[in-house]
Amino acid sequence: MREAGVQNGPEVRRRPGRDLLGTASLEVADACEILAAAHYLTPMVTGDGRRTFPILSGFTVINMFNEPSTRTRTSFELAGRRLGADVINFVGDASTSVAKGETPLDTALTLDAMGGDAIVVRDRVERFPHSLTSWLRARIVNAGDGRNEHPTQALLDALTILEALDRRPVENALKGVKVAICGDIRHGRVAHSNIRLLTALGAEVVVAGPPGLVDAGTQNLGGRQVDSLDEAVAGADAVMMLRIQRERLPADLKLPDVASYHAAWGLTLARTQTMAPGGIVMHPGPMNRGVEISDEVADGPRSRIRRQVTLGVAVRMAVLARACGVALPGVEPQIGEGRR
């Protein structure tokens, strides 16, 4: 039974290190520490020549992905390898014992029993990664749980904005910064994690989306809802566009056709012209070009979409080191300083 995946476990003795379950449970100081470490590690992702930093040699990172992924799974794999860890990828498909009826919890217990130090989990059930913390010795990193949270995406998005503004990852680093998050807010775990983290860092977060794709609960997270994309984008320092999460929509929700959706809720070049000077465009991917974003915006000068992917590797390196309880040599004196 699928719901068995969220039951409480026997409270095992955990391995050293830290879970990362969501931005709801992440202190601002912790977030800044991860961002500072990721900033330090960024040249190891983007630089020329050898790009390894083997502080996790002898550690085991297991990626357990029960939902599709391109960016998150691949960048966690690359992050683990850059740090010298043994990285195992488990994708819960027909080639595994999932096809024989094994539950996600039993799969996770099996992977834990092989000696994983950190298990990176994506699952369609909300709070499934949270429930694993009372069952597994390994530290858990949430790589997306249903529509609830996607904390590493929010961290890499925060780093992208900080880098674009040339600001340091410190408390209130985003004070005076307007971030617009637009599209399917209701079913978007990226939106939920970002609203919490960016407001915690001091940003003004404005959300906008069509009827049925934004709910009142969003405002409880700290976002201010406005009625139109134009209102959200005007004066924004960063605009984050989100796709419609079709895999999570209720069957009875009626949405406009693609052309009407793009006309009302698509980020076009004309719309970006009302942004703040130097304002940036972001998208967590996968993009639906011609729906929530036009080609010319996705590939245009304001776009930081591929930079988000690059910084995602650095953020996940920092998160994996934290999950394994390993400090990054050379980082600690710089925590809170970030980019100069």
State the residues that interact with ligand CP by CB under 6 A: 69-72, 144, 150, 153, 284-286
Q: What does each C-alpha distance from 178 to 21, 76, 279 come to in angstroms?
A: 26, 29, 10
User: Is the previous residue joined to 286 through a cis bond, with omega within 30 degrees of 0?
Assistant: yes
Least distance to ligand CP, CB of residue 203, Å: 20
Do the Cβ atoms of 35 and 94 come closer than 8 Å?
Answer: no
Least distance to ligand CP, CB of residue 69, Å: 3
| CB nearer ligand CP, residue 52 or residue 70 | 70
Give dist(CA 303, CA 50) in Å, integer. Answer: 28
| CB nearer ligand CP, residue 71 or residue 224 | 71
| CB nearer ligand CP, residue 147 or residue 150 | 150
Least distance to ligand CP, CB of residue 282, Å: 11
- Determine the 3-state secondary structure of 225 from DSSP: strand
Do the Cβ atoms of 316 and 154 come closer than 8 Å?
Answer: no
Tokens linked to 248: 């999570």
| CB nearer ligand CP, residue 46 or residue 70 | 70
Least distance to ligand CP, CB of residue 153, Å: 5
Least distance to ligand CP, CB of residue 217, Å: 21
Least distance to ligand CP, CB of residue 144, Å: 6
Cβ partners under 8 Å of residue 134, min gap 6: 8, 9, 10, 11, 12
| CB nearer ligand CP, residue 116 or residue 144 | 144
| CB nearer ligand CP, residue 69 or residue 334 | 69
DSSP 137-200: SSEEEEEEETTTB-HHHHHHHHHHHHHHHT--SSTTTTTT-EEEEEE--TT-HHHHHHHHHHHH
Beta-strand relationship, 60-65 and 118-123: parallel
Least distance to ligand CP, CB of residue 288, Å: 13
Residue nearest to ligand CP (CB): 72
| CB nearer ligand CP, residue 123 or residue 204 | 123
Single-letter residue type at 121:
V
Q: How many Cα atoms occupy the beta-carbon half-sphere of 29 within 13 Å?
A: 1
